[in-house]
Amino acid sequence: MLEVTVALGVFLACSLVTVVLAVGAPYLELPVWLWVLSFVAIVVNLLVGGFFISWLKRAYWNASSVDQGSDRFDHSWAVTSWFVPVLNLYRPLQMVHDVWRAARLGNEALPAVWWVSFQAWGWVSFSFWWLGHDWYVGLLGLVLGIVAAIFAIVIVVEATRGLQRRNAELEADEQEPTGRFDRSAFGQLAALRAGS
């Protein structure tokens, strides 16, 4: 996953340098604090995106372990669907929905609300950097990014708990799970909670 993060970082840096050299003045006139904030945001987004994709891969595996009908797609799509044009507009949401259903959490609107806020953040941020530099558009992008992050955190925590609960129910009923249940994703979450 680190390789993907580094590759995306290099791609973004090269894109930014290309745009600055090609367009010139409008980008160079931005305040320094905005450049620093943008750099920090790019680094944080790459790290968080890598963690979320890693979580989705493990959660999708676990979802198919506790609920045979939940895996509509090959597990490899949990990672690759984010990077395939057009498919990246809907397949990650479908996979999050599959995990959500396997965890039997109800309120299936929550993943959709997260996805809409995530997509809105991406499009508003794009319009700020590529179409104009109005500070209020940048602020709107920041707010949408925070909203999307909050929804993503809720989805990760609730889906993880739901999948753990479903696995415990299967073990309590002395049934074999339908596949290997990967506890490493849940161990990471427990370690984070123990540290706080």
Q: Residue ranges of the alpha helices (H) in 24-90?
A: 25-28, 32-66, 77-80
Where do the DSSP E strands lie in the chain? Answer: none
Residue with tokens 């994709």: 53
- Read off the pLDDT of residues 71-122 as tens digits, 9 standing for 90 and up: 788 888 888 888 888 888 899 999 999 999 888 888 889 999 999 998 898 8
What pLDDT, on a 0 to 100 scale, did the predictor assign at position 132? 67
Above pLDDT 70, what percent of the chain?
66
What pLDDT, on a 0 to 100 scale, did the predictor assign at position 20? 54
The packing angle between helices 184-195 and 32-66, to 10°, is: 130
Summarize the confidence of residues 36-46 as an average pLDDT: 73
Asked whether residue 36 carries a pLDDT value surpassing 70, the answer given is yes
Please indicate whether residue 32 or residue 60 has the higher confidence score (pLDDT). Answer: 60
What pLDDT, on a 0 to 100 scale, did the predictor assign at position 96? 92
Asked whether residue 22 carries a pLDDT value surpassing 50, the answer given is no
- Read off the pLDDT of residues 136-158 as tens digits, 9 standing for 90 and up: 676 777 788 888 888 888 899 89
Contacts of 4 (CB under 8 A, 6+ apart): 50, 53
Asked whether residue 179 carries a pLDDT value surpassing 60, the answer given is no
Query: In the structure, what pLDDT confidence band is assigned to residue 57 with cuts at 50, 70 and 90?
Result: very high
Q: What is each CA distance from 182 to 144, 185, 191, in whole angstroms?
A: 32, 7, 15
Summarize the confidence of residues 22-36 as an average pLDDT: 62
Asked whether residue 43 carries a pLDDT value surpassing 60, the answer given is yes
C-beta separation of 94 from 114 below 8 A:
no
What pLDDT, on a 0 to 100 scale, did the predictor assign at position 4? 47
Domain boundaries, the chain: 32-195
Burial classification of residue 173, based on how many CB atoms lie within 10 Å of its CB (0-12 exposed, 13-18 middle, 19 or more buried): exposed
| Average pLDDT over all residues of the chain | 75
Question: Could you tell me how far CA 29 lies from the centroid of its own chain?
Answer: 32
Please indicate whether residue 12 or residue 42 has the higher confidence score (pLDDT). Answer: 42
Q: Would you report the helix, strand and coil content of the chain in percent, each value rounded to 5?
A: 80, 0, 20
Burial classification of residue 158, based on how many CB atoms lie within 10 Å of its CB (0-12 exposed, 13-18 middle, 19 or more buried): middle
CA atoms within 13 A on the CB side of 149: 14
Q: How much is the CA Rg of the chain, to the nearest whole Å?
A: 19
Q: What is each CA distance from 31 to 26, 132, 137, 166, in whole angstroms?
A: 11, 14, 15, 51
Asked whether residue 17 carries a pLDDT value surpassing 80, the answer given is no
Closest CA to 30 of 135, 121, 142, 140: 135
Asked whether residue 196 carries a pLDDT value surpassing 50, the answer given is no
